[in-house]
Every structure is written in structure tokens, then in C-alpha cells.
Amino acid sequence: MKPHRLFPLALALLGLVAAAGAAPVVQSLQFNSVILGSTATLQASVSDPGGNLVSAAFYVSGPATRDHNNLGAITWPGAQLVGTASISGSQATPQVSWQPPQIGTYWVTVYVADQAATTSQAGTLECVTGRLVIPPITIASPVNRMFLHSGEITTTENQAGSSVVVHSGGSLIFWSGGRIVLKPGFHAGNASDPNDNSFFWGAVDHDMNGYSDVEEATCTSGDGIPDAWKVDHGLSILVNYSSQPQYLAAYRGGYDPTNPNAATQLPTNGAYQLVIRTPSSAYFGVNTSTWAITGL
């Protein structure tokens, strides 16, 4: 064989060897939320350059726990195998069914193997108590409206051009114990109006205690008491109250720190929850893709 023909052949053989040794490719995992008591489908999209896929194994950790005494640090309890799937060829969509035992956010990891290597990919799955679907509505000036729900709050998608519209001078608040999903077509104000002063506020409060997850994870002094709680009870965010344990006990127990003998919960005030806006609340204009605000 002539030398000029050997070179392309060598390149082709090298390409086959490289493909055979390449690890599987797994796309990022994305899951819809699941309502407690329902079964979730855990699925991955997989490709393999060598065409030698073998198996997929799904592991779940959680639900996540938040340590309010450590600036909202998140931990994921030990992983457990929840299902496996046999796959083959160069393309596959392995899936398993699994029912979350309780509400919360779970960490899902899939391990995909071919005949030479193993690749993993991970994503979160949220189990909620229920789902509040917001129909197409218009908030006009000077109306202020709030939707409070212990589970997921979600808008509809592309109905009548826009699912939710907030006009200048109006405000809309979603306060959720699960997550907030703003579907395509969502509007918050009129982006073409430089004088627009409308607001959309979205906050996730997993334990529904009146303080968003963002607030509970913010502690300037490092004593484990959130800044927002201190402000609401007349304390300084710059002071470390570790030497005065009654304040931390009051925060943990949900009672008024001015009365160290109190044992009852503070009264609930819906408007009280609207003080702090999440980073997402400054968004104006049209959202062209699903916008999910997760609390973790």
C-alpha cells in the first residue's frame, strides 16, 4: 500500500481506538417536582462514542437538611441505590421509578458504565406537599397581591400571551414552602417603561416560619441567629449574642426573646413575610424560559 494511503488509514484506526476508550456522556439531570405520595421517574439521557453502553444505576441522597445554627449549611444524608437499568448501544434513556418517603429536596446521582469506563451526573429532585397553579392574572396599580402555599407555586405556560402580568405600581408576591416555577410567558412589569415601579417578589421558605431560606442563611455576626430575625426583634445584626443563649433559644423555639419564659409561638402576620426580597425579585420583563427559584 502506498504511504499516502497509510496515513488516513492510521488516523481512522486511531479514531476507532479513541472512541472505544471514551467514557459515556450523560446530559445534566433535570426533574420535575413530585407531590408527596406520587412516584417520580428518574431518567437520564446517555450517549457513548464507542457504542458499548452496559448499565445505569441511580442513587438518591436526602432529603436535604439545613443547619440553622451554622449559617444555613446544607447536608445530604447518605445515598441509597434506588434502581438500575440495563442499556446497550450508543444512545439510551435509562429510567427507574422511585417514591420519595417525605417532602424535601433530594440529590439524585446516576452512574453510567460502558465496557471501559463509568461516568456520573447529578441533579436535584423536589418532593412537595402540593402544587398551587396560578391562572393567568393581571395585577394593576395600585394592587398588591400575595400567594402563600406550603408546596410548589407555579404559573401556567404561554396562555393568552402572558400567564402573569404586573403593571406599573402593582406588586405580586409568591411565598412557597417548596419551590417557585415561573413558566415561559411570565411578565413582571413593562421592561420598555423606564418609570416602571412594579415588583415581583419570590421567596422559598421550606419550614414556613416566616423567614425565607435566604434570610435564614444570612448571619453577619456568626452567632447562628439570622439577621432578619434580629432586626424584627430589635437586636443588632453586628452583635454576636453567643454569650446570651436566651436569644438563640428564642429563635429556635419561635418565641419572643423579650420574654425568656415564653413558650408559645409568635403570632403569624402575612405582611410581615414580605420584608426581604430574594435576588430574583429584581427581575423585570419577559422570561423566555422556565425560571425556577429553588430554596437551597
For the record, the C-alpha cell of 36 comes out as 408527596
Q: Could you tell me if 111 and 84 are in contact, meaning their C-beta atoms sit under 8 angstroms apart? A: no
Residue 146, classified by CB atoms within 10 Å of its CB into exposed (0-12), middle (13-18) or buried (19+), is middle
| Element of type H or E holding 152 | strand 152-155
- pLDDT at residue 136 in the model: 83
Element (H, E) at 125: strand 118-128
For residue 52, how many other CB atoms are within 10 A of its CB? 18
Block means of pLDDT (10 residues each) for the chain, 296 residues, are 44 41 87 94 94 95 76 78 95 96 93 92 92 86 85 79 69 84 70 61 81 81 87 90 84 70 38 28 46 62
Residues 275, 271: Cα–Cα separation, whole Å: 8
What pLDDT is recorded for position 137? 82
pLDDT at 69: 59
Locate the domains of the chain by residue range. Answer: 25-128, 131-294
Record the cell numbers describing residue 265, joined without a space: 409561638
CA distance 284 to 118: 43
Q: Among 286, 278, 277, 271, which residue's Cα sits nearest to residue 165?
A: 286
What's the pTM?
Answer: 0.73
d(C-alpha 8, C-alpha 10), whole Å: 5
Phi, psi (deg, nearest 5) at residue 113 = -120, 140
Distance of CA 239 to the CA centre of its chain: 32
Query: CA 82, CA 194: separation in Å to the nearest integer?
Result: 52
Per-residue model confidence (pLDDT) at position 70: 63
292: nearest Cα among 171, 153, 198? 153
State the Cα–Cα distance between residues 220 and 125, nearest whole angstrom: 31
Q: Is the preceding peptide bond at 226 cis, omega within 30 degrees of 0?
A: no
Confidence (pLDDT) at 111: 96
Q: Which grid coordinates belong to 291?
A: 425560571
Distance CA 127, CA 99 (A): 9
- Indicate the length of the chain as a whole number: 296
81 within 8 A of 108, measured Cβ to Cβ? no
Backbone angles phi, psi at 74, to 5 degrees: -105, 135
How far apart CA 111 and CA 202 sit, in angstroms, is 35
pLDDT value of residue 205: 84
In this predicted structure, what is the pLDDT of residue 190?
53
Q: 25-128: CATH homologous superfamily?
A: Immunoglobulins (2.60.40.10)
Q: What integer pLDDT is reported at residue 7 of this predicted model?
A: 40
Which pLDDT score is estimated for 291? 61
DSSP letters, 191-238, are TT-TT---EEEEEE-TT-SSS-HHHHT--SSSSS--HHHHHHTT--TT
